Amino acid sequence: MKITGPILCVVGARPNLMKVAPLLRAFAAHAPAIASGLVHTGQHYDRAMDGQFFDALGLPPPDAHLGIGSGTHAVQTAQAMERFEPVLDASAAGAVLVVGDVNSSLACALVAAKKGVPVIHVEAGLRSGDWSMPEEINRVLTDRLSDLLFTTERAAADNLRREGIDAGRVHFVGNVMIDSLRQHLPAAGAGRKALAGLDSMGKLPRSGAYGVITLHRPSNVDDAGVLAGLVATLVEAAARLPMVFPVHPRTRACLEAGGLIGALERAAILPVVPLGYVEMLALMRDAALVLTDSGGMQEETTALGVPCGTLRDNTERPVTVTEGTNELVGRNRDRILALVARTLRSGGKRGRVPEFWDGRAAERIAGALAGLR
């Protein structure tokens, strides 16, 4: 594989921004610099929040914004393909780089592959084995389309080998999400101060004396009965450990539709608006425990050494369980409450930071790509 032009990097959702920011810095810092461009599909379409993340991460404005917005998986994927194609045609790109497992990543990889433009997938090879998750479909298909695959943990290469992908195209480089975390963690002190301004009810506990909740997976929030059961368990958990809950807009709509916001506000739970990147780092770093259904937060808590309970029955990031601080608790009341009790009693699970989660993954990727020019 030879790269003969700029590398066009695609972002679609906010977690993609944390992964692409260190890559763009590493490309610019490489000697000689690696030419690149940035396309934002707009899959996450809250412009105000996008602005916060671009500023916090030091990202340049995108060269193109496709503005696809919300919609079904089919609509988002189709619109991203339709709007990305002319951008790719006009770019003279030597390769298209996609990250993660969102609809935008698959859509833009598919357009590039059909046009004969090499595809690079960062965060390749992760598998949950759960085909009810749209992200699992996106992961598998994006990897199949990719010419070069960069992995975050060693188990990912085993997954790719089983699927028949040539090992010569796979490179274990570490986790670019952790590159961003390590760079911005020193600013988390200021983030903690900003959090205090959101606490109009005076419920923000002191450092180390609270847990954090995030929920956004359709399997957890779209079914009213499932969500009500989870809220009841979280209210019970908060009676033992106060919780801060940055509420995703989709989740808030589901909570309001189910009449559940009042139950949170009456409990030892502080619901807040979605936070900026540095503020969220501050919140996680100072927490006793995180309860989440987010893949990225499983990684971030492992890097921070903060115990994490994943509100799912599977994970595509097994290293966070085998080496890190993560435990799978699903929606099981007894497992969730037992995790809270263990955390209060003994400080919770303490793992270790996985191999190559050292803040230099983007440098390794830049070095590998420079050799193909």
Q: Which residues are catalytic?
A: 216
For the record, the structure tokens of 132 come out as 């009810």
Q: Cα torsion at 127, 129, 135, 140 (round to 10°)?
A: 60
**Beta-sheet strand order (sheet of 148-151):** 64-65, 36-40, 7-11, 95-99, 119-124, 148-151, 170-172
Q: Please tell me what DSSP assigns to residue 280.
A: H
Q: Cα torsion at 106, 108, 109, 113 (round to 10°)?
A: 140
User: Cβ of 167: how many Cβ atoms within 10 Å?
Assistant: 10
Positive/negative CA dihedral, 58, 61, 63, 66: positive
Question: Phi/psi at 22 (nearest 5 deg)?
Answer: -65, -25
DSSP string for 59-110: PPPPSEE----S--HHHHHHHHHHHHHHHHHHHT-SEEEEETTSHHHHHHHH
Residue partners of 301: CB distance under 8 A and separation at least 6: 284, 290, 292, 307, 308, 320, 324, 325, 326
Largest CA distance in the chain: 60
For the record, the structure tokens of 94 come out as 């030597």
Residue partners of 208: CB distance under 8 A and separation at least 6: 286, 287, 288
Question: Please, what is the angle between helix 224-238 and helix 249-257, to 10°?
Answer: 100
Positive/negative CA dihedral, 107, 173, 135, 188: negative
